[in-house]
Structure 1
């Protein structure tokens, strides 16, 4: 049995208001009084009204959807990032389509084509490793507004929202030096991205500023096994680090597990600091000192930049950068005398 769709006219009749008023409520216009809005929304709920997005798209030449592409979903950083973007887009009456590129440029290209097929109004892209600037030119040629976030291909080619990775690393190194550590190693991911390069540059700058010694760099795959396996490499470094700064909290948590398996006590025998400050940081043992990069705020900023771009395609390119904050916990022990 086919059910008849509830119309705006029916809602207006039951609520005792004009159809125009109901339309304003559906479009979340601020012109409707709160009391009237509440009444109309209750009638909509009672009648199980669903907005016809297809019809709205035909009228406005807009799908009211945007695409978000991230490189992996193992790291909860990206789910928090998505939460911020979705919140802003919901306020703008848009739906977010999420896709995982798995850090693969071919998969990323396929996703972009599917997004085009679905008629998304714009895209927030965290570029996969190996993405070339030519991709941005292609997307601009499609007339598809885009914001890069967290990673960046080129500089000032598109709007960008991200964290101040260099400042975050500086905060971490300064803290470790203040704890008496002067031989500091860096545990990095293998993926060559702008986020990795900024962290590496920040590490070099911070060592120069503090006079601390670079005790070496170890690279690990961004998996739990890869992170745990990095412990043996860290312990074998000729620089004999007393502290390790990790690319993110996942590598830090895995490293602490690997150290414990090797008979070393994180936070006692060697200090560990992560970057991101995910909820995971408070669940590790010992609890992880980390630099908060505030992914939800970054996601919200990326979404606002995209909304701005949708309104004004000719707006000047803009950057929104979130300042980091050091969260001190038990893993960054003082160096033993």
Structure 2
């Protein structure tokens, strides 16, 4: 968080910033608590207050080090997103680095990397959190030492970071995946969800909106029978898909809001008697899912451009470290070719609407 303002003049200037209208983002913020701090001076979790004034006209600082800490290195999704971040950070003349664990559930490993990056005195950390609370102590210590913290893809509790770069509105993502699957199964039947880790902030937030969507009258004939967890591991997700179909032989559809999970589920379904009978949708990359659209295993799925998400996290981190923004609602900044963005409620910046991919448009996308 920004440091305490020390003068009445600064407080007045900041109060003016707080008066800027806030872009409504639905419930995009993930994590258990919400950040109540604004530029008017309420405290955040690490004891500092959001009373420092942003200077949108400030020059971009040079020589900054922006470190990326994804949920899992060597995960194809994060390879794409972090490479997007690398391009953005280096285009601004800054130094990029990536560190992380090879497991998507090693929260202790993530904590250790945060501590190391703090000791190395990086200027900003862009982290995709494996757990909403496990990193908080380490991240707030980093912030006390002057490190800016941006979460992307998967948030922490809101008082443990400066900004969250959300791939899309969490509500949009959760509800649209139910809508896609409901259409594919004719509005009735048993369905299941194949998630990543049981503690994954983004997954749990999306699933919450899925369950809420299913309460609507139009889904009265759809029954959610189970939420399974594949831990963003291809083999485990494959086995979970197999287990779901053994346990629920009348299953009509699966939603997998994880790129690893949906690919593994499609792989299992495409080689089984359930191909074309059990529908599958969720979040996947066009390159991973192209063959499964072509052979009829999948009808449609959705995602955003992960490279743009990683790039936006980089631009956001540099803007924070340069003092152009502090993370207060209503502040705006420019993210290169991506355009201008506005900080929303709870310190959330949203990349945009998800894109639905099907046989009519997938040929236009290559990531």
Q: What TM-score do the two structures reach when normalised by structure 2?
A: 0.66
CA contact (8 A) 2:66 2:317 kept: no
Counterpart for residue 107 of structure 2? 105
Counterpart for residue 121 of structure 1? 123
- With over 3 angstroms needed to count, the CA separation of the structure-2 counterparts of 1:229 and 1:89, relative to structure 1, is same
Q: How many residues align?
A: 269
After the TM superposition, list the runs of 4 or more consecutive aligned residues in structure 1 that deviate by more than 6 angstroms: none
Shift of 1:219: 2.2
Q: 3-state DSSP class of the match of 1:169?
A: helix
- With over 3 angstroms needed to count, the CA separation of the structure-2 counterparts of 1:320 and 1:287, relative to structure 1, is farther
Q: 3-state DSSP class of the match of 1:195?
A: helix
Q: 3-state DSSP class of the match of 2:283?
A: strand
Q: 3-state DSSP class of the match of 1:120?
A: coil
Extract unaligned runs of 5+ from structure 2.
1-59, 329-342, 361-367
Superposed, which structure 2 residues align to 1:266-305 within 5 Å? 266=275, 268-284=276-292, 285-286=295-296, 288=298, 289-305=300-316
CA distance in 1, matches of 2:116, 2:193: 38
- With CA pairs under 8 Å and 6+ residues apart, which has the higher RCO, 1 or 2? 2
CA distance in 2, matches of 1:251, 1:123: 27
Q: What TM-score do the two structures reach when normalised by structure 1?
A: 0.71
Q: 1:204 aligns with which of 205, 211, 230?
A: 211
Shift of 1:185: 1.6
CA contact (8 A) 2:252 2:277 kept: yes
User: Structure 1, residues 258-289: CA drift from partner, whole Å, max 9, x if none?
Assistant: 3355x4242x1111113143420113344642
Superposed, which structure 2 residues align to 1:1-337 within 5 Å? 63-101=63-101, 102=103, 103-129=105-131, 131-155=134-158, 157-163=161-167, 164-179=169-184, 180-183=186-189, 184-209=191-216, 210-211=218-219, 212-238=222-248, 240-261=250-271, 263-266=272-275, 268-284=276-292, 285-286=295-296, 288=298, 289-312=300-323, 315-317=326-328, 318=343, 319-322=348-351, 323-329=353-359
User: Structure 1, residues 63-114: CA drift from partner, whole Å, max 9, x if none?
Assistant: 4321110121343111121122122212210121101233423322332343
Shift of 1:291: 0.8
Shift of 1:122: 1.3
Shift of 1:201: 0.7
Q: 3-state DSSP class of the match of 1:264?
A: coil
Instruction: Tell me which protein shows more helix as a share of its residues.
Output: 1
CA contact (8 A) 1:230 1:258 kept: no
- With over 3 angstroms needed to count, the CA separation of the structure-2 counterparts of 1:246 and 1:316, relative to structure 1, is closer
